[in-house]
Amino acid sequence: MSTPVKKVPIHLQSAQNRLLIKNGKVVNDDGITDNDVYIEDGIIKQMGRNLIIPGGTRIIDARGKYVMPGGIDPHTHFELELMGAKTVDDFYQGTKAAVAGGTTMIIDFVIPKKDESILEAYERYRESADQKVCCDYSLHVAITSWSPKIKEEMATLVKDHGVNSFKMFMAYRDLYMIRDPELIETFKACKELGAIAMVHAENGDIIAENTKRLLDAGVTGPEGHEMSRPEEVEAEAVNRACVIASQVNCPLYVTALSSKSAADVVSSKKSEGVVLFGETLASTVGIDGSEQYGKDIEKARRYVTSPPLRPDSTTPAYLIEHLAQDGLQVTGSDNCTFNAEQKALGKDDFSKIPNGVNGVEDRMSVVWEKGVHAGIMDPTRFVAVTSTNAAKIFNLYPRKGVIAVGSDADIVVWDPNRKRTISAQTHVQAVDFNIFEGMEVHGVPEYVIVEGRVCVDECELKAVHGFGKFVETPSHATYVYDMIEDREKKPRGVARTEAEAKKFAEGGCRYREGQRGSKSGSCSTREESSNKRYLRKPETKNFSTRLYANTT
């Protein structure tokens, strides 16, 4: 499906095509600089001080503010039908709320209905979203069954439709869940296509057994949800997915990590060399799950999501620490909103409560409050975990996720000192409650620029229905697949002779040429360049020795 050319609304034309942000501190993931930013026709054209700019340019004074890449939320569920209900935030209301909070791009999940092909599901999502989104968006696609046809359609989505990520569910038995043999095949297919394998990691079989046992014992309230999905059930699935990804040598992105145990597994496996990215959420770093055990059952149902919010009050700070130290890399929202009336579908049975909470609007402020304002991470790391890392992983960088000449002008002017109190009475989202109700946060987007257009202006929302567009995510993201290639070329045996060393070296090159083509120069040149980064001994003299200087 091609992306239609859209007419820019008249109130977003004229002077807004030229914009200068002055006197702010520009924050990227690698540093903070004192630069002005000049924008024209949706692109960053100049950076520096004392810029020469044309007349008719609107000027925003960002003195005392941070000028940061707009947020990228890689985990939303707009217009999702789940457990007998449909999420109330559609692609318009959801992306409008995203922009209000400082997020300028979202990546939603295509989840096929029963007997619907993944290509048909993709087209259905595109048809709805293209007409509604207020900011740019991309799509992941869920694989909920396995067959040769699915594999063919995955290839079509990657090659013709700009999809580079596929999600597999290890939970939701009899609905979305696929088992280990199919998981292996999907991981292999992702690697062949240069895509990212994503997982919802919980052991679905154990959850089903626990759910039956709890219901039989008369535990029907919302607390049963978390009780049926304890930390070790999440951690086991994370570990299992990591082992499969390691053996296949496929990049793995674990979504919605909610527990200390699961975060520890990701950190450990990453340190072992698995090409792995861990995502946690605004909800899991913002609050704990104790409300699920409250006496107000209507309120308790609001907090039901999967993986569940953990009742341990120290979990949010633990996850923030992992984000700060690169044990985890990304924060999403997993925005999947159902009104209180919809949540009441599970009033007599916790397993029937539609799973999901809000977060797309408040993600940036919550992470700033719990991370930067709390003194756990600095602004550069905030940019990394709310924008840049997602852009790099899903091959949107440097178009997105950075303030640099030539990048899209998706920018937030952030006031670190302004405060607001989160409430369902004032939020933009359609959902009729907010899990962060009453939380005071420091850090508010004063201006939000989407593709060069000011869509939040002095904290006033001016988002436009249908202004955003679909953005393709090309395969073989350099940030990801360079690590896969470096891992792939490590020897599978011991090179005891020069002939064996040469044989292993040639095998490594053949792999890369098969995946990437031979655009980047000769085999020996690329091999040598790649391995220089991994040498322990600079004095190594020949190619074969250099190749095997570091194989751990």
* Structure confidence at residue 173 as a pLDDT band (50, 70, 90): very high
Distance of CA 60 to the CA centre of its chain: 30
Q: Which domain holds residue 452?
A: 67-486
Instruction: Please report the pLDDT score of residue 83 as a whole number.
Output: 94
φ, ψ at 59 (rounded to 5°)? -115, 130
Asked if pLDDT for residue 529 goes beyond 50, the answer is no
Rounded CA gap, 150 and 145, in Å? Answer: 8
Instruction: Please report the pLDDT score of residue 488 as a whole number.
Output: 85
DSSP 105-149: EEEEEE-PPTT--HHHHHHHHHHHHTTT-SSEEEEEEEE-S--HH
Examine residue 374 and state whether it is found in any structural domain, yes or no.
Answer: yes
DSSP 313-339: TTHHHHHHHHHHTTSS-EEE--B----
Instruction: Please report the pLDDT score of residue 1 as a whole number.
Output: 55
* Structure confidence at residue 432 as a pLDDT band (50, 70, 90): very high
Residues 438-454 have pLDDT tens digits of 999 999 999 999 999 99
Cα 257 to Cα 202, 262, 291, distances in angstroms: 10, 6, 19
Mean pLDDT, rounded, of the chain: 91
CA nearest to 220, candidates 352, 357, 84:
352
Pairing of the two strands 252-254 and 196-200: parallel
Residues 450-487 have pLDDT tens digits of 999 999 999 999 999 999 999 999 999 999 999 999 99
Examine residue 405 and state whether it is found in any structural domain, yes or no.
Answer: yes
Examine residue 525 and state whether it is found in any structural domain, yes or no.
Answer: no
Rounded CA gap, 162 and 195, in Å? Answer: 11
In CATH, what number is assigned to the domain containing residue 459?
3.20.20.140
Rounded CA gap, 356 and 508, in Å? Answer: 44
Q: What is the mean pLDDT of residues 120-127?
A: 98
By residue count, the chain amounts to 552
Residues 498-522 have pLDDT tens digits of 888 887 776 554 434 434 333 333 3
Q: How many domains does the chain have?
A: 1
Examine residue 287 and state whether it is found in any structural domain, yes or no.
Answer: yes
Under 8 Å between Cβ of 412 and 107: no
Under 8 Å between Cβ of 350 and 302: no
Under 8 Å between Cβ of 332 and 279: yes
Examine residue 25 and state whether it is found in any structural domain, yes or no.
Answer: no
Under 8 Å between Cβ of 359 and 333: yes
State the burial class of residue 296 (Cβ atoms within 10 Å of its Cβ: 0-12, 13-18, 19+).
exposed
CA quadruple 396, 399, 401, 405: dihedral, nearest 10: 160
* Structure confidence at residue 493 as a pLDDT band (50, 70, 90): confident
Residue 165 tokens read as: 């990520």
Q: What is the mean pLDDT of residues 134-162?
A: 98
Examine residue 227 and state whether it is found in any structural domain, yes or no.
Answer: yes
* 3-state secondary structure (DSSP) of residue 477: coil
Examine residue 516 and state whether it is found in any structural domain, yes or no.
Answer: no
Residues 265-299 have pLDDT tens digits of 999 999 999 999 999 999 999 999 999 999 999 99
**Alpha-carbon dihedral sign for residues 169, 172, 176, 182:** positive
End-to-end alpha carbon distance in the chain: 45
The residue ranking higher by pLDDT, 237 or 503, is: 237
Q: State yes or no: cis peptide before 398, omega within 30 of 0.
A: yes
Asked if pLDDT for residue 392 goes beyond 90, the answer is yes
Examine residue 255 and state whether it is found in any structural domain, yes or no.
Answer: yes
Instruction: Please report the pLDDT score of residue 491 as a whole number.
Output: 58
